[in-house]
Amino acid sequence: MSLASAPSLPFLRALRRRLSEAVVPGVRYDHFVETALYDPECGYYRSGRRRVGRSPGTDFFTASTSGRWFGELVAAAMVSLLDGRDPGTFTFVEVGAEPGQAVLDHVAHPFARTEVRRLGEPLALRGPTLLFSNELFDAQPFRRFIARTGHWVELGVTLRGDSLEEVELGPSQEPWLPEAAMDGYRLDAPRASIELLETQAAQPWTGVFMACDYGKSLRELVEATPHGTARAYWNHQQSNDLLVRLGEQDLTVHVCWDWLEEALKRHGFATPTVVSQESFFIRHAARYLEASLAADGGERSERKRALLQLLHPGHLGQKFQVLSAQRW
């Protein structure tokens, strides 16, 4: 292993603790990813450095990089999803915002109040609520499997000296696994995202759920992504090597929209819907878009450039999807 990919001493300590508790020759991928992203001592999301943006030293950009223009779209769409209910009686809650950032910062809105819940902060939801997240579910730990002669084998990570290696942990009989695919096909299963959604949906609140993220249907995950969907981001470079720069690079995976929709239905949300970010905001923020374009006229304003980035199918409009649902 090269010096650049050598795990840090804090990470090695954390992973060895995980390995000492394992009953197989390695740790499951979700335990490895949880350590790499969220360990209090060495996790990527525990560091105080700036991760999101276009400036040097950041690793990726999201819709929130567009500043208040994205927040204005979100606020307009939330009002639309209320179906005529008074937005002044609802609390807007954003989950998973980056430090120092919130989607409604500097945005005029009609909601009773806004709240932000960041990493590690307790989430208590009650009463009329508008629950929002942006790229929260793709940042949750995932499990990794490979098809072997008609069955699924779970993959994990182990240490050989101070080097990380991927290993096969043995056959898996998880009831939610689909029929095995062709031999060698990899499935990255974002199961922790379901657990997170269940935690949110099980609480005593009514209102609107909106999550902006990227994902695929279960069929797509099983038939159209033979190498899995997990990847790393560092310095705006995408990589398939998940075992390097631990604590310094982001690890992410496509969510499974079918699993998240099913979780919402189990908790009484009516007709969860997934559409492209482009389609969602054109439908639910049409008046805002019309007013913005009219106000800017033919000028190439900052707002117009931001909206183009957010909605154009060649930019973020098709790369991201929006899952929304209501519970009254």
* pLDDT per residue as tens digits for the range 228-246: 999 998 887 889 999 998 8
Segment holding 9, helix H or strand E: helix 9-21
Provide the residue range defining the domain that includes 309. Answer: 3-327
Looking at the DSSP bridge assignments, the partners of residue 208 are: 130, 326
Percent of the chain with pLDDT over 90: 66
Position 315 pLDDT exceeds 80? yes
Position 309 pLDDT exceeds 70? yes
Q: Which is more confident, 206 or 52?
A: 206
Q: What is the pTM of this model?
A: 0.91
Residues 273, 274, 276, 279, Cα dihedral to 10°:
-10
Residues 38, 43, 48, 52, Cα dihedral to 10°:
-80
pLDDT band at 314 (very low <50, low <70, confident <90, very high): confident
Is 149 buried (19+), middle (13-18) or exposed (0-12) by CB count in 10 A? exposed
Give the residue-averaged pLDDT of 129-146: 97
Say which CATH number the domain at 156 has. Answer: 3.40.50.12710
Distance, in Å, from the CA atom of 131 to the CA atom of 78, rounded to the nearest integer, reads: 9
Position 1 pLDDT exceeds 50? no
pLDDT band at 24 (very low <50, low <70, confident <90, very high): confident
Residue type present at position 98: E
* pLDDT per residue as tens digits for the range 105-116: 999 999 999 999
Of the listed ranges 109-113, 227-231, 267-271, 301-305, the one predicted with least confidence: 301-305
- What's the number of domains the chain is made of? 1
* pLDDT per residue as tens digits for the range 181-236: 899 999 999 999 999 999 999 999 999 999 999 999 999 999 999 999 999 988 87
Residue 60: what pLDDT?
62
Residue 13: what pLDDT?
87
Distance, in Å, from the CA atom of 196 to the CA atom of 120, rounded to the nearest integer, reads: 12
Position 5 pLDDT exceeds 70? no
Residue 2: what pLDDT?
33
Looking at the DSSP bridge assignments, the partners of residue 93 are: 115, 131
| Residue 91 neighbours by CB distance under 10 Å | 18
